[in-house]
A and B are shown apart, each in its own frame.
Chain A
Amino acid sequence: MDEYILEINDISKEFLGVKALSNVNFKVKKGEIHCLVGENGAGKSTLMKVLSGVYPYGTYDGEILLEEMVQQYREINDSVNAGIGIIYQELSLFPDLTVYENIFVGNELKKRGIVDWNQTIDQATEILNKVKLKVIPETLVKELGVGKQQLVEIAKALSKDVNLLILDEPTAALNDNDSENLLELLKELKDQGISCILISHKLKEIISIADTVTVLRDGKTICTLDASSGEVSEAVIIKNMVGRDIKEIYPKRLDKKVDENVLELKGWSAYDPELGRRVVENVNLKVRKGEIIGIAGLLGAGRTELALSIFGNPRNYKLQGEMEFQGEVTVLNHTSKAITSGIAYVTEDRKNDGLFLLQDIKNNISIARLKELSKNGVLNVNEEVKTGEIYRTSLNIKASSLEQIVGKLSGGNQQKVSIGKWLNTMPKVLILDEPTRGIDVGAKFEIYSIMNELIKEGMSIIMISSELGEILGMSDRIYVMAKGTIKGELNAKEATEEAVMELATQ
């Protein structure tokens, strides 16, 4: 019969009462390529962190069997020693070190306590041959392209005698050619007896390479599909990835049709000088008064970049194309101009670039609108408190007072402060980037209700979200982005999760 290299039985993991994984079962056969798929937040990364020892034994329930032996990793090194190699989505190479140094970093070959560089280079060459990377080992990693860097990552994993290789979206940043090379390599490694777990959003590559596919959703194993018996197809995978009941989560709202453009982008492109490529490419988009536009897409599709390029371009992209705001061609070259014109942007990562965590609620809510709260540059703190109170009540921010430090609030309440800060600027277009990430269902519902309330008052909302349910449940129209461009526009009433996914994975 089939032998399993890895068996994960009934794994559950909780974060502060939120179940990230519940009774996940997952088995990988020896010498197969096993693809793990699921929406963002389905629990894939958490599962891999359990497997690699990032979350040590005891912080989760269930058991892990590797080659039929129970594993109890206390730290990452334990899983490495057991023969599990993980390559994360974000490359973890040192750009200023050479290829051979990178391959053996943390695993240096020593002779009497001193690094044996000759042997290191010798072995590095051997491993590089194995992964078919034709570079001199002395090359600096930063001189290699992303595709080759990814191969160095694999070489690094192979240098530690892995039996099970886990790759988290290895092709996300690669072009088609590099992706194909990588997938070829995985097949060859499989022939050499190395099993492989591949996490990917690109369904086409999954179908071309997978022996088995497991679908996760909401922290549960939904199904395991066997490629040899012909169960794997795009339609089947998508159907299993999505398809939850969304009716109850999204509050109803009345249809109100106003045919008046607030914001329009024509041939809009943004070139990022730091990355040296275009992050937004030829986008045409319309936002009407009083509607919610959903922008769907996978991580790295260019959605946040699009939002930033509209919102005063704080990253200094080189912009092309035309933006019409309220019927006039507008150039916004600083966030302050975007704010005064009536655009607001609630960031995706509220802790790092949204809120002032050490300051109190009052200061956070007023910071983008101090001019209106002051006279000749001198603040009227009492007015400030008054407006702060208005948003604390209307957004139902749960805090003992406005003087409470924002860093101490729960995620949902922090998000409400973040929204309050931007509502305070009285925007005409409100951009919400992942508005419900990391907050519980109750707070989500509140935020959806607030959004409905706002558009009733004539505001327009651009909602960027990776959660399909939210996109379908809240939007009037949906734009699907991939690789920096808009792949299609869907009417929310006719759109299905399958249709959105199909465009997003193009």
Chain B
Amino acid sequence: MNFFKEAKALVKTNIRDYGMYIALFVILLTFTSLTNGLFMSSRNISNLLDSAGYIAVLAVGMTLVIVIRHIDLSVGFLAGFLGAISAIFLTQLGLSVWITIPVILLFGIVIGIVNGVLVARVGIPAFVVTLAGMLIFRGALLQVTEKSGTIIIKNEQFNAIGNGFIPSILQINGLHLLTLLVGIAGILLYIYSEISQRRNKLSYGFEVPSIGIFSIKLVVISAIIGYITWILAGYNGLSWTVVIMIVIVIIYHFFTTKTIIGRHIYAVGSNPEAAHLSGINVQRITYIVFGSMGMLAALSGILFTSRLQSATTTAGTLFELDAIAAAYVGGVSSAGGVGKVTGAIIGAVVMASLSNGMNLLGIGISYQYMIRGGVLAVAVIFDVLTRKQRA
């Protein structure tokens, strides 16, 4: 009896967080049954995650930008432009991947900080600053690809980022061994960190969830990680794109939840005036958030260019709006101060699953847009309604 009460209370207070996981689960289940399991096949899931990658990293950055009550419309063409620059570095300048990638990421950071300075110091609305940026980078992309048209990249290392998989070592019953090992390591690491956190809390004499709820949580999440690993191992294993996504989420999750900077970002988002009066340098936080957005835009450009193995003249079109949609589906609040990076990834996966599933079912593109629009609207309505309930 007590157990159910506790579970009920947990669900009630966290309905906002669980909402999109439930939505994702429903979407996966629906498509799997409609496609007779084809949707959940190893090959399709692997494709789906790879195609979500370049939007997912943008959505992570966008979530933080929206959390501090701004917006960044320039990231789509910035990604396209920096992708083209990396293609030029690799092909026309003949630089190695190990130089190209850091330099491109640095470009992204610098451009992001310029946006941040214009917003926070000069005081121009972010919408306008980044709209201007969007036009400028669109022009710049056309400029650099004007002579050559599409730039084809032959660098295998670079192309592996968007298309390659981690080496397998050994195939066991057609399963990718290293992927399995990584999955098992992930599960162990997860269990270890949960238990040590719980122990730490207990040592302070704090309340923790009952052992029943705690073990159920461990089992469920381990099972999910295990299942995803098993699916991916059934095809080519973990792709480099997924590895990058996971690394980005872990880093950003750590920064936003465990560090001073993270706490400051959410403080600035939920009340800039109070943040300033609490000794927080609001301008600096704005630079950091826009700088990180710029870096992730550069990363998104690299992922996309590598996936296509070429830089095109229209790369990056509408990425910014897909990223904004993913961020909102992932639970960021338009009023600022609320939104998690894990949510952003889930949001991106939800949107990618919708496209992928509907493609498998052969649904026309016109309906696809309408359905994705509807999902976005429902996500924001859900956000507004649960917020009302909390207040």
Residues of A within 8 A of B (CB): 311-312, 314, 334-340, 345, 347, 352-359, 363, 366-368, 370-371, 374, 377-379, 381-382, 385-386, 405, 407-408, 421
Contact = CB atoms under 8 A, between A and B. Distances in A.
Contacts of A345: 277
28 contacts: A314-B276, A335-B278, A335-B279, A337-B279, A338-B279, A345-B277, A352-B274, A353-B274, A354-B277, A355-B271, A356-B267, A356-B270, A356-B275, A356-B337, A358-B270, A359-B266, A359-B270, A363-B263, A363-B267, A366-B263, A367-B263, A367-B267, A368-B279, A377-B261, A379-B263, A381-B258, A382-B201, A407-B391
A407 B274 CA distance: 14
Contacts of A352: 271, 273-274
B343 to A, nearest CB: 16
Given A334-B281, A354-B274, A408-B391, A374 B260 contact: yes
B200 interface: yes
B69 to A, nearest CB: 12
A355 B274 contact: yes
Contacts of B275: 356, 367
Contacts of A359: 266-267, 270, 337
The 6 closest A-B pairs by CB, nearest first: A336-B279, A353-B273, A339-B279, A368-B278, A356-B270, A370-B260
B390 interface: yes
A354 B338 CA distance: 18
Nearest to B391: A407
Contacts of B261: 377
Given A312-B279, A421-B278, 5 more contacts: A335-B277, A352-B273, A358-B335, A367-B280, A374-B259
Contact of A334 (B263, B274, B279, B338): B279
Contact of A358 (B260, B276, B280, B337): B337
Most buried by A among B263, B273, B338: B263
Nearest to A350: B274
Interface in B258-315: 258-261, 263-264, 266-267, 270-271, 273-281
Contacts of A335: 276-280
A211 B142 CA distance: 78
B277 A347 contact: yes
A378 B256 CA distance: 10
Contact of B260 (A347, A377, A405, A408): A377
B367 interface: no
Contact of A367 (B204, B278, B335): B278
B24 to A, nearest CB: 25
A408 B267 CA distance: 18
B206 interface: yes
A405 B338 CA distance: 13
A150 B277 CA distance: 33
Interface residues of B, number: 28
A405 B391 CA distance: 9
Nearest to A386: B204
B197 to A, nearest CB: 9
Contacts of B259: 374, 377-379
B77 to A, nearest CB: 33
A90 B273 CA distance: 21
A427 B244 CA distance: 45
Interface in B176-215: 200-201, 204, 206
Interface string B337-351: 110000000000000
A359 B270 CA distance: 8
Contacts of B338: 358
B265 to A, nearest CB: 12
A368 B275 CA distance: 9
Nearest to A371: B260
A353 B267 CA distance: 11
A336 B281 contact: yes
B274 A356 contact: yes
Contacts of B206: 382, 385
A357 B271 contact: yes
A275 B203 CA distance: 55
B68 to A, nearest CB: 13
A444 to B, nearest CB: 23
A379 B260 contact: yes
A363 B266 CA distance: 10
B279 A356 contact: no
Contacts of A338: 279
Contacts of A374: 259-260
A317 B204 CA distance: 45
A392 B260 CA distance: 22
Contacts of B274: 347, 352-356
B198 to A, nearest CB: 11
Contacts of B280: 335-336, 367
Most buried by A among B260, B267, B275, B279: B279
Nearest to B333: A358
Contacts of A370: 260, 263-264
Given A367-B263, A382-B206, A353 B277 contact: yes
B274 to A, nearest CB: 5
Contacts of A312: 279
